[in-house]
């Protein structure tokens, strides 16, 4: 049996970009299969029960879906050059950045793709899914139809006329500036070696914001060091470097993390509260819908509504579980860092009704 893994995905797919960069960094032998409609119908949906990419097929014929699950599983198989730091603060910061990249950088990724002039490029990209072997004008025709489904998701994320100026100011004058400053002096988030947080950032920054023409031009103009970081993660490293010594967190990450705790963290904690309430009010339901209503959030001082997504709780549980698993000495060290850097008082977040993924579906864990 071949030892080759198979990645089912697409270049324009945010999470495929994350998975591909991880497989490349770990030097895991893999081939990539483009997720055309034919591949969705014949492989992805029958083998996973869902219509999401990326999917990784193992040499043993197992199919793993969702990048967090893919990375968690493969880290157990390929223990060399782990992307999970062994020290408490770095591990926690890595997981926070992975979550932020996966879920909050989705906001500018979706805005700049669908609200800016990325056409006909993006229609051709999506057209390859439906008509991979047809001429470009045919691909654009089919791509426009397919892309409209994704564009319809934009307001659900809270991307509206009201928030767009704040999103653009945050992304162009904060995220890009702070990341560029950081990568001017560090190869990766925590030093000379990528962590899980690097791959969380890479997905949206590469697949949407670097490849798409409109945001790509902005990034190349405003953040050349960030561009070099993106291109570093595209290639297999000659050798793995090291994270900073003594569990150090670079000072250049503090401004970014301040905004994470100011704007993203409340969304996570409020989502958990709403999801816990929803589960209590729906005692006969076993699996979770994609969303359960709307909640308020703020970005750049502008308030809007966005969907409450149970998947956020599943990912947030990993961060909470990591913190709760630290011994008392490590907790004190982490608490001191969070308090001194962000004025953040750590309080236990009760999640009595936990969520888990079974057969790629989000379900309520049995007590």
pLDDT single digits (tens) 246-279: 999 999 999 999 999 999 999 999 999 999 999 9
Q: 182: closest CA among 246, 216, 229, 219?
A: 229
Three-state SS for 253?
Answer: helix
What tokens appear for 133 in the block? 């072997």
Q: Is 144 exposed, middle or buried (0-12, 13-18, 19+ CB in 10 A)?
A: middle
The per-residue pLDDT for range 308-367, each reduced to its tens digit, is 999 999 999 999 999 999 999 999 999 999 999 888 777 767 899 999 999 999 999 987
Predicted confidence (pLDDT) per residue in 23-35, tens digit: 999 999 999 999 8
The per-residue pLDDT for range 82-109, each reduced to its tens digit, is 999 999 999 999 999 999 999 999 999 9
pTM of the model: 0.94
* pLDDT single digits (tens) 38-80: 898 999 999 998 888 999 999 999 999 999 999 999 999 999 8
Q: Which helix (H) or strand (E) holds 109?
A: helix 106-114
In DSSP terms, 65 is beta-bridged to 55
**All domains in the chain, ordered by first residue:** 5-77 (3.40.30.10), 88-121+157-249 (1.20.1050.10), 122-153 (no CATH), 252-364 (no CATH)
The answer, yes or no, to whether the previous bond of 54 is cis (omega within 30 of 0) is yes
Do 194 and 83 contact (CB within 8 A), yes or no?
A: yes
Among the residue ranges 167-171, 211-215, 249-253, 344-348, the one predicted with the least confidence is 344-348
- Average of per-residue pLDDT values in the chain: 92
- The pLDDT value given to residue 144: 78
Contact 154, 115 (CB under 8 A): yes
Q: What share of the chain is helix, strand, coil (3-state, %, to 5)?
A: 55, 10, 35
Pairwise pLDDT comparison (142 vs 324), residue with the higher score? 324
């Amino acid at each position: 049996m071949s030892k080759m893994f198979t990645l089912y995905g697409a270049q324009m797919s945010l999470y495929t970009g994350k998975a591909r960069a991880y497989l490349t960094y770990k030097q895991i032998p893999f081939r990539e299969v483009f997720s055309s409609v034919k591949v969705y119908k014949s492989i992805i949906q029958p083998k996973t029960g869902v219509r999401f990419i990326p999917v990784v097929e193992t040499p043993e014929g197992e199919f793993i879906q969702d990048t967090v699950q893919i990375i968690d599983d493969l880290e157990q198989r390929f223990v060399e050059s782990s992307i999970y730091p062994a020290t408490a603060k770095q591990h926690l910061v890595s997981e926070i950045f992975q979550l932020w990249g996966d879920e909050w950088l989705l906001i500018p990724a979706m805005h700049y793709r669908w609200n800016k002039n990325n056409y006909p490029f993006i229609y051709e990209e999506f057209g390859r899914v439906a008509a991979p072997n047809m001429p470009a004008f045919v691909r654009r025709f089919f791509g426009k139809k397919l892309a409209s489904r994704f564009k319809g998701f934009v307001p659900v994320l809270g991307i509206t006329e009201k928030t767009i100026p704040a999103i653009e100011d945050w992304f162009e004058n904060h995220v890009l500036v702070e990341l560029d400053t950081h990568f001017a002096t560090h190869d990766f988030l925590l030093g000379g070696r990528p962590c899980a947080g690097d791959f969380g950032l890479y997905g949206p920054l590469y697949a949407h914001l670097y490849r798409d023409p409109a945001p790509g031009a902005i990034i190349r103009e405003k953040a050349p060091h960030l561009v070099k970081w993106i291109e570093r993660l595209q290639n297999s490293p000659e050798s793995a470097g090291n994270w900073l010594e003594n569990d150090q967190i670079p000072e250049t990450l503090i401004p970014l993390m301040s905004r994470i705790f100011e704007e993203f963290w409340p969304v996570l904690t409020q989502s958990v509260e709403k999801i816990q309430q929803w589960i209590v009010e729906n005692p006969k339901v076993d699996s979770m819908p994609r969303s359960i209503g709307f909640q308020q959030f703020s970005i750049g001082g502008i308030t809007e509504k966005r969907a409450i997504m149970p998947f956020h709780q599943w990912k947030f549980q990993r961060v909470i579980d990591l913190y709760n698993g630290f011994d008392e000495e490590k907790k004190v060290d982490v608490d001191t860092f969070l308090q001194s850097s962000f004025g953040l008082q750590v309080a236990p977040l009760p999640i009595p009704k936990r969520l888990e993924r079974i057969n790629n579906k989000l379900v309520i864990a049995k007590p």
